[in-house]
Structure 1
Amino acid sequence: MVILALLFKMPSLVGVANESAEAPSKETVDYINPMIGAITLGGYGGHGLGKTFPGPTTPLGMVQLSPDTITGGDNGPGYSSHHETIEGFSFTHMSGIGWYGELGNFQVMPTTGPRQLNRDLAKSAYSHDRETAKAGYYSVMLDRYNIQVELTAAPRSGMIRMTFPESGNSRIQIDLARRIGQKERWLSHGKQHVEVVDDHTIQGYMYCPREDGGWGHGDGNVTYTEYFYAQLSKPIEQFGVFDKDTVFESKRSYDGSNTGFFIDFVTEKDEPVLLKTGVSYVSIDGAKENLTHDIPGWDFDKVYHDARSLWADALAGVAIEGGSDKEKEIFATALYHCFIDPRSISDIDGFYIGADNEKHQADGFIYRSIFSGWDVFRSQFPLLTIIRPDVVNDEINSLLQMGILSKREYLPRWELLNSYSGCMLGNPAVSVIADAYHKGIRNYDIDEAYKQCVNSVEKFSNFEEDRGFTPDMISHTLEYAYTDWCVGRMAETLGKTADAKKYNQRAQAYHNIWDPKVKWFRAKKANGDWTEWKGKEVHWQGTIESNPYQQGWFVPHDVAGMIELMGPEFFEQELEAFFDKVPDDFLWNDFYNHPNEPCHHVAFLFNYIGKPWLTQKWTRTICDRAYGTGVRGLCGNEDVGQMSAWYVFTAMGLHPVCPGDNMYQLTSPVFDKVSIRLDPSYYKGGTFHVIAHDNSPENIYIQSAKLNGQPLNRPWIMHDEIAAGGTLEFQMGKNPNKAWGAGDIPPTSASD
C-alpha cells in the first residue's frame, strides 16, 4: 500500500510507504512534475494547452524563477517546450494564463564569447534530455555556451547557479526592460534604474507601465514597479550598462528605458558562479530585506532543500492511498499548481503597495495578488476553503483592501498587481466571499465585504434599465444571476430581509433568456427581441469562450428550476448527448469542453436527475483522459490553479456545483483513501477521511456509502459534515448500482 502525504501547514507525519521491501521510499514532494502542462500549443482550433512554467517557486511565493523561450505575443508563461531556444531566466511568472502574459522581469542570461547583449542574438539552443524540473529546482544545459544553469527559489528571492566552461570571455547579462507580454522590443514608456552598490551587489528597479504591453497586450491595465537587490558570488570588476545598441563601460549608475547590465569575467573549467536576487513591489530596501531574510548565504543546495521542504510542508495535509504512480504524479502536481497563486506580494515586513499606489502594512493577513476570478471561483477557492482557509481569508482581505484603497468600493473581477483588469465576466469575487462566509471563514470586515458585494452586483448587472438580462449576452446574464443569488444568500444570513428578497428575485433572471422556440438559452437584443440563432453548438452567440450549449448549463443556484424550465425529459436527453459526443482526448470541442471553465460543473448535474452513476462514469473518464503526466498533461490552460483544482477535488470523490450553498456532489474517487487534516483555527473536526473499498480502474461505480458508520443514500454531502471530521466510505463495483443516490436529489439553494 502506497501512502501519499499531502497535508497543509502541519508537520508531515507520513511519507510514501514502500511498495515492496526492496523499493526505495518516495515522498509526496518527489511526485511533483513541474513540466506537466508546460506547452502553449496543441489544442484544437488554435487553443493552447496548459501554459504552465517549469521553473522553481515556493508555495504562494512572490518569486517564480523560470526559463524563458519567448517574449511577446500570447505566450503567458514565457516558456513552451516546443521552442528550441532559451533567451534567459527571469524571476516572476504567471501560471497557465490564456492572455498575453505579464511579469517575466529581471531576465538573466549567462554567455561566453563576443558580446551579444540583445537577447534575440544571445539565445541558446537546449535539449529536453538535459533539462530537469522538480519542486524547488530546475536545471538546463545551454548548448551554445556549454553552461549549465540551475535555478532555485525562496519565498521572495531566487538563486541561479551557473557552471561555466573555461573562457576568457564569460559573461552574465541582465535585461531590465524585458516583460513577457511586451508589445515591442524597444520600449518607449518603461523606465529602469540600475546601480553598482559594491564589488558584489547591484540594485535598482523596473517601472512597467501598461502602455508597453504586459497583461492583455496592455488592455489589462497593469502598471507596477518591481525592485531588485542582486548579489554575485564573483567580484563585479569589468561591467557596463547597455541601452539598445549603446554600451556604457564601467557605468555605476544609469537610468534608461531600454536598459540592461552586464558583468564580464574569466572562468576556469566547471567554475560555478552564483547570482541571488531579492525582489519587492515596494522598494529597494524591501528587496534587500527579502533577500537577506530568504538567502543570507551562498549555499545553493541548502536553498533548494529549503524550497523542497516548504513544498513538503505545504502538501502535508491530504494523505492518499492507492492509485497508480501516474495518478499520484498528476494529483501531487495538480496540488502544486493550486499553491502557486494567489501569491504574496507583501514584503517580509508586511508592507505592500496598495491600489492607491501608496505603501501600506498588512495587519493580520498576507497581501495577495493574481485572482483569476472567473476561473478559480468554481473549484480552486472552494478547495482552499477546506484545505487552506487561511489563504482564502488572506485573499478576501486583499480584495477588500483593493476596493477601499482604489475608492471604487467594488470587487475586481480579475486582479493582477492591484489592477482591475476587467478580464472575463461575472462577479466571481462575490462568489468567493459568499462561499467563505457561509463556511465560517470570517476574519475580515463583514460589513465591508457585504457592501462591496452589493456594489459589485449593482455595477455589473442584468438590471440596467430594469431589463432583467444583459443585452446580446447569454454568458453575462447567467453568471450575474448566480452572483445575485450569492448576495441574496448572504443577506438572508445577515438578516437583511429586503435585500434577500430583491437579490433572490434577480437570481431568477435566467428565465428571461430561455427561448421555447429553439429550446435553449438565447441572447436578447436591448429592445427584447431575440438575436440571430445559428444553433446551440455555434460559438460566440452571446457567449464568452463557449457556445450556448456549454454556457447554458450554468444555473448552479437553481438546478431544480432549470430542470423544470427545460422539462425533465429534455434536460436528461440533452445532458447525456452533451457527453456522448465528446472526443476521446477531451481537447477543445463543441460539447463537454473540459479545457475551459463554463463546463466544469456539468458532469455533476447527473446527481440532480437521479442518475449519479453517470456522474461517476464521466468524472472518472475525465480524470483518466483529460489529465496526464507530460507537457501535454493538461487539455487546456491551467488558469492559475482551476484546472488542477478540479482534478484534486474530483479525485477525492467530491466537488461543488454551486459555491455558496455549502454542498459537495459525491462521485467516484480515484484513490482508495483520502485523509484531509483540517485547520483547527477554522474547523474542529481534526481529520476527514474518504475511503473507497474495492476501488480500481474497473470498479468505478458506487454501490453503497456510509458516513461515520451510518448508511448514506444521498449523492451529496454538506461542508459542516466535512468540517466536523469523520469518515465517508464507499463500496465500489464494476457495474452501476442505479438505486444508490437515485432517490435523493440534491436540494437547490441548500442552507447551512
Structure 2
Amino acid sequence: MKLKYLLAFSAAFLCSASVYAQAPAGYVNPFIGASTSTAAAGVYHGLGKTFPGADVPFGMVQVSPNTITGGDNAPGYSHEHTSIEGFAFTQMSGAGWGGDLGNFLVMPTTGKLHTSAGTLKNPVGGYRSGFIKSTEKALAGYYSVALANKVKAEMTVAPHSGILRFTFPQNKQSRMQIDLARRVGGTSSLQYVKVINDHTIEGWMKCTPDGGGWGNGEGHADYTVYFHAEFSKPLKNYGIWSADIPNDWARKLEDVTSAKYQARVAQATVLKGAKEKEGKHLGFYTEFTTKANEAVLMKAGISFVSVEGARNNLAKEITNWNFDAVHQKAVALWNAALSKVKIEGGTREEKVVFYTAMYHSMLDPRIITDVDGQYPGGDGKAHHSTAFKKRTIFSGWDVFRSQMPLQSIINPSLVNDEINSLVTLAQEKDRNYLERWELLNAYSGCMLGNPAVSVIADAYAKGIRGYDLQKAYELSANSVEKFGNGEKGFTPEPLSISYTLEYAYTDWCAAQLAKAAGDDKGYEKYMARSASYKNIFDNDKGWFRPKDKDGNWLPWPAEGRLKQWYGSIESNPYQQGWFVPQDVDGMVKLMGGKAKVIADLESFFAKTPQDMMWNDYYNHANEPVHHVPYLFNRLGTPWLTQKWTRAICARAYHNSVEGLVGNEDVGQMSAWYILSAMGLHPVCPGDTRQEITSPVFNKVTVALDSKYAKGKSFTIIAQNNSAKNVYIQSAELNGKPYHKCFIDYADITAGGTLKLVMGSTPSKTWGILN
C-alpha cells in the first residue's frame, strides 16, 4: 500500500514539475537555508531560517508547511523536524527574535478530531502528522509532501491568495481543519469565523503584543489577518472548536506552549454545526467522506484591511478550482522576476545558489496593498494609494547593506515603494522619525542605527526620487537627532562601538539628504557628526573601544578586540570596528596607515575557518562585516577583494539545507551573494560608487527599468573566467580601456558592457587608480 501511495505521489510530482523546464525558476531550491537548528549552526543564531513553501515575488501570501510554533523559529519550519502542524498562509523569512505570522493554519486529517496540534515528540497526540521526507518537494511557487496520515498535500499561490489540494485516502471521516489561533511565536489573541454558505467561511484573527509574536511581544506587532476561504466540497458536517482560556492567563510564547495551556486547548469545546463564533482560541473544521485518491481543495484570500478585501483578492486572482493553472501562473511570475538577471557559465550548483538567492531576495519587503489599492495604515485605518504599493517587513539593520542596493539596480520601483511606505507610516502613526525594523506597521525598535536614512540617501543619490524629499529629509534629520551620537560625539555602553559607528555613518547619510534638500547648515552639522567615530578610537590599543556615560574607557578584556559583545552587538570589536564606510581614508589613518591595515585585514581573513560558520574573524554569518572584503579595493589592493569575494561565494553558499552560514535576514545574505557573484557591491550606500570584483559567472546581463535608467541592460563579461582564474587582469567599459576598480551607478544605468579579462595570478597594476 505504501509503495502504491509513493508511486502515485511521484507521478503527480513529475507532471507538475514539467512547468519548470524553462530556467531560471527551475534552478530555485527553496530548501536552501531552511533550518533553524542551533546545533547545526554551532551558535544560538541558528542557520538560514528560510521557509520552503509556495510564494510569488513580493507576494502577500506564502503557503508553507509549519513544523513548530515555539522557540527562535521565525519561519515556523526547520528541515530536521519530522512532523508538520499544518500549512499556514503567512510566513517570515530568515529572521531571528522569535518570529511572527504563521497565521491561518490549515491541516488535512482523518479519524478522530484533535483540537491541539500535539508536539514534535508526540505528534499522534494532536492534529500533527508525520511525513515521508523523501516526498517533500519545494519549487518556486509550489510545495508538496506525503503525510503519514496518507494525505498528499500540495499548495501554490497568487499574490494575495493561495490554494491547497489535498488528495485523501478512502475514509469515512476525512477532514480539513483550520487553527485560527495559531501564530508563530505566540497566539492570535482574538478570532472570529462565520459560515457564509455551504462552500464558504470568512473571518479574522487579531494578533496583538500580549499574544507574543515578534520579539515575544517586545516588537509591538499588532495586526489583523482577514480571510475569505472557499472549499471544493460542500460544508455539510462542520463545526467550530473553542478553548476556554481564562482572562487572567498570560499568553506570551512561553505561556501558550506550556503543557497547562495546551491541555486546555486539547479540551476545547466542539460546537458541531455552529455557524458563527468569536473567541480567544478558535478553530474550524469540515468533515466529509472521501474515495481513494479523491482531491479536495481549499482556496483563500487574505487581507490586512478587511474581510471584503480578502474576498475581493481571491475573486480577482483565483476564479476557479484549476490548481495547475494557478501553479503555472506562479512559475511565470517567478521566471519574469528572476530573468531580470541572466547568467551564463558557472556550475549547476552555482546557478542554483544564484537563482535561489534571487528568489530569497524577492520575498520582502512584501506588498500588503490589496488588489483595489487599499492598505492598512499605521493609524489603524484603511488607506488607498495608486502612487505606490504599501510594503512591509523592512529588516533595516540587515538590508541597507546589500539587499536595498541590489533592488535599486533590479527593482528600483520597489525601493521607491519602501521609502513611501516608511514616510507615510511615520505620518500615520504621528511619529516624527523613521522606524529601524518595521513589521506590519509596528515600530519595533529592533537592532540599531538609522538604516531607513541610509536607504533614502542611497535612493536619492541614484535618482530614485518618487517621494516627498522634504518630508523624507525631515524624518531622517529627526531620526538621527533622536537616535544618534549628538553633541556628545559618542554613544556610551554597553554597545558603544556598534552604536557610535553606525550613528556616525547615518549622520553622513543625513548630510547627503540635507545637501539635496538645500539645508546647508544641516549638511555642515551632520558631516561634522559623521566624524564622531574618531571619538571612540583608543590610540593606545590601536582600535575602537567602548566608553561609559562619563567618557571613560571600559576595561580592556583579556581577549582584546576578539571579545564577543564587548561594545558590539552580535559581534566583537574586530568585526564591528571596520564599519566606517563614509570615511575609509580617515579610518585607515587612525589605524596606522594602509600597509598596517592591509596586513591586519589579511590576517582577519586568513584566520577565518574554512566553512565560514560563526567565528571571531570574518564572520559572514552576520552583517557587520559584509562590506569588509571590498575595503581592499579602497586600499589599493583590489586583487585581494577579488580573492576573498570569490572564496566567500564558494565557501559560504551551497545548494543544501545548511547552505547559508547564518540567518538569511530577509534577503540580505542572498543579496550579498547576488551582487558579489555579478561582480559589483557597494562599501557605502549613499555613495554611488560600486566596487568591482571577480564575477562568479562568465556573463551577467541585468535588465534595467526604463523609468529609472537610460539604458536597456548592463552586461558584465568575465573572459577566461574559471575557479582558478579569479583575478582581473584588465578591463574595458563599452569598448574602451577601464582602469578603475569601481564603477558609478550612473554608468550601470546608462547601459553597456563591462568586460573583464581574468587570470590565475593577481594583477598588481589593474584597478589601482582611485
Q: Quote the Cα distance in structure 2 between the aligned partners of 1:704 and 1:300.
A: 52
Partner of 1:433: 456
Aligned to 2:564: 539
3-state SS, counterpart of residue 119 of structure 1: coil
- Secondary structure (helix, strand or coil) at the match of 1:643 reads helix
Query: For the residues of structure 2 that align with 1:671 and 1:572, how far apart are their CA atoms?
Result: 27
Deviation at 1:128, TM superposition (A): 2.2
Q: More deviation in 620-629 or 469-478?
A: 469-478
Contact 2:490 2:536 (C-alpha < 8 Å) held by counterparts: no
- Tell me the CA shift for residue 45 of structure 1: 2.5
Distance 2:604 2:310 in 1: 52
Match in the other structure for 1:647: 673
1:131 aligns with 2:143: no
What are the residue-to-residue correspondences of 1:174-189 with 2, within 5 Å?
Answer: 174-182=178-186
Aligned counterparts of 1:89 and 1:727: Cα–Cα separation in 2: 45
Match of 1:303 in 2: 326
Name the counterpart of 1:170.
174
Q: 1:566 aligns with which of 591, 600, 613?
A: 591
Alignment counterpart, residue 33 of structure 1, candidates 29, 32, 37: 29
* Alpha-carbon distance, 1:570 to partner: 2.4
Partner of 1:715: 741
One of 156, 174, 180 as aligned partner of 1:152:
156
Deviation of 1:677 after TM superposition, in Å, equals: 1.4
Structure 1, unmatched stretches of 5+, are 1-23, 746-752
Residue of 315, 322, 327 corresponding to 2:350: 327
Tell me the secondary structure at the aligned position of residue 452 of structure 1. Answer: helix
Q: What SS does the aligned partner of 2:314 have?
A: helix
The TM-score normalised by the length of structure 2 is: 0.92
CA distance in 2, matches of 1:522, 1:44: 28
Given that 2:489 and 2:529 are in contact with CA atoms closer than 8 Å, whether structure 1 keeps it comes out as no
Match of 2:579 in 1: 554
Contact 2:58 2:364 in 1 (8 A): yes
What secondary structure, in the 3-state scheme, does the structure 1 residue paired with 2:561 have?
coil
Aligned to 1:518: 541
Write the letter of the residue equivalent to 1:510: Y
Residues 181 and 283 of structure 2 are in contact (CA less than 8 Å); yes or no, is this contact kept in structure 1?
yes
Contact 2:504 2:529 in 1 (8 A): yes
Correspondent of 1:670 among 672, 678, 696: 696
Task: List per-residue Cα deviations over 1:198-234 (Å, max 9, x = no partner).
Answer: 0000000001111110001111000111000000000
Mapped contact 1:55–1:65 kept (Cα < 8 A): yes
- 1:81-92 to structure 2, matched below 5 A, reads 81-92=79-90
Q: Distance in 1 between matches of 2:21 and 2:160?
A: 31
Aligned to 2:96: 98
SS in 2 for 1:365: coil
CA contact (8 A) 1:469 1:509 kept: no
**Which residue of structure 2 lines up, in the alignment, with residue 207 of structure 1?**
206
Residue type matched to 2:146 in 1?
M
Correspondence for 2:471 among 426, 444, 448: 448
Residue 353 (structure 1) shift? 1.2
Distance 2:527 2:608 in 1: 35
Residue 475 of structure 1 is aligned with which of 481, 489, 498? 498
Structure 1 residue 493: deviation in Å?
A: 3.0
What's the counterpart of residue 59 of structure 2?
A: 61
Structure 2 counterpart of 1:44: 42
CA distance, structure 2, for counterparts of residue 560 and residue 490 of structure 1 = 22
Q: Residue type of the partner of 2:672?
A: W
Correspondence for 1:726 among 736, 749, 752: 752
Judge conservation of contact 1:461–1:470 (CA < 8 Å) in 2.
Answer: no
Question: Match of 2:242, as an amino acid?
Answer: D
Q: Is residue 194–residue 276 contact of structure 2 (8 Å, CA) maintained in 1?
A: yes
* 2:688 partner amino acid: N
**Aligned partners of 2:192 and 2:747: how far apart in 1?**
55
The residue that corresponds to 1:9 in the other structure is: none
Say if 1:44 and 1:589, in contact at 8 Å, map to a contact too: no
Shift of 1:25: 6.2
Residue 691 of structure 2 aligns to a residue in which SS? strand
* 1:466 to 2:464 alignment: no
How far, CA to CA, are the matches of 1:592 and 1:466 in structure 2? 31
What are the residue-to-residue correspondences of 1:144-543 with 2, within 5 Å? 145-182=149-186, 190-244=189-243, 245-463=268-486, 466-472=488-494, 473-534=496-557, 535-543=560-568
CA contact (8 A) 1:156 1:279 kept: yes
- 2:261 match: none
Deviation at 1:560, TM superposition (A): 0.5
Q: 1:441 is aligned with what amino acid? A: I
CA RMSD, 1 decimal: 1.1
For residues 216 and 723 of structure 1, the distance between their equivalents in structure 2, rounded to whole angstroms, comes to 40
Partner of 2:16: none
For residues 22-66 of structure 1, what are the alpha-carbon distances to aligned partners after superposition, in whole Å with 9 as ceiling and x for unaligned? xx9641110011111101112123331110000010110000100
Q: Which residue of 2 aligns with 1:11?
A: none
Q: Please name the residue that 1:114 is paired with.
A: 112
Partner of 1:17: none
Conservation of the 8 A alpha-carbon contact between 2:144 and 2:155: yes
Q: Taking structure 1 as the reference length, what is the TM-score of the superposition?
A: 0.94
Superimposed CA distance per residue, residues 675-696 of structure 1 (whole angstroms, 9 cap, x where no aligned partner): 1111001111111110000000
| 1:546-585 C-alpha deviation (Å, 9 max, x unpaired) | 1000000000000011001111132122111110100000
Aligned to 1:10: none
In the alignment, the residues of structure 2 paired with residue 237 and residue 178 of structure 1 have an alpha-carbon distance, to the nearest angstrom, of: 25
Q: Which segment drifts farther, 658-667 or 570-579? A: 570-579
CA distance in 2, matches of 1:317, 1:149: 32
Contact 2:489 2:535 in 1 (8 A): no
What is the one-letter code of the residue matched to 2:474? K
Residue 426 of structure 1 and its aligned partner are, at CA, apart by 0.2
Partner of 1:4: none
**Residue 457 of structure 1, CA deviation:** 0.5
Q: Distance in 1 between matches of 2:68 and 2:43?
A: 22
Tell me if structure 2 keeps the 8 A contact 1:612–1:741: yes
Which whole-Å CA distance do the structure 1 matches of 2:166 and 2:490 have between them?
61
Q: Which residue of 2 aligns with 1:141?
A: 146
The farther-off stretch of 173-182 and 488-497 is 488-497
Tell me, yes or no, if the aligned pair for 1:692 and 1:732 is still in contact at 8 Å.
Answer: yes
Report SS of the residue matched to 2:419: helix
Is the 2:470–2:517 Cα contact (8 Å) retained in structure 1? no
Q: Is the 8 A contact 2:145 2:152 kept in 1?
A: yes
| Structure 2 counterpart of 1:72 | 70
CA deviation profile, 1:704-751 (whole Å, cap 9, x unmatched): 111111111111111111111111110000111111113x23xxxxxx
Q: Any conservation in 2 of the 1:95–1:640 contact (CA below 8 Å)?
A: yes
Secondary structure of 1:698's counterpart equals coil
Contact 1:68 1:79 in 2 (8 A): yes
Please give the per-residue CA displacement for 1:444-471, whole angstroms capped at 9, x wherever unaligned. 11111111110110110101x6344444
* Amino acid in the other structure paired with 1:208: C
Q: What amino acid sits opposite 1:521 in the alignment?
A: F
Distance 2:163 2:301 in 1: 9
CA displacement 1:609-633 (0-9 Å, x = unmatched): 1111111010000000100011111
Superposition deviation, residue 118 in structure 1: 1.3
Q: Distance in 2 between matches of 1:254 and 1:119?
A: 21
CA distance in 2, matches of 1:112, 1:494: 64
Letter in 2 for 1:237: K
Matched residue, 1:735: 761
Q: Secondary structure at the match of 1:150?
A: strand
Which piece of structure 1 moves more, 451-460 or 571-580? 571-580
SS in 2 for 1:45: coil
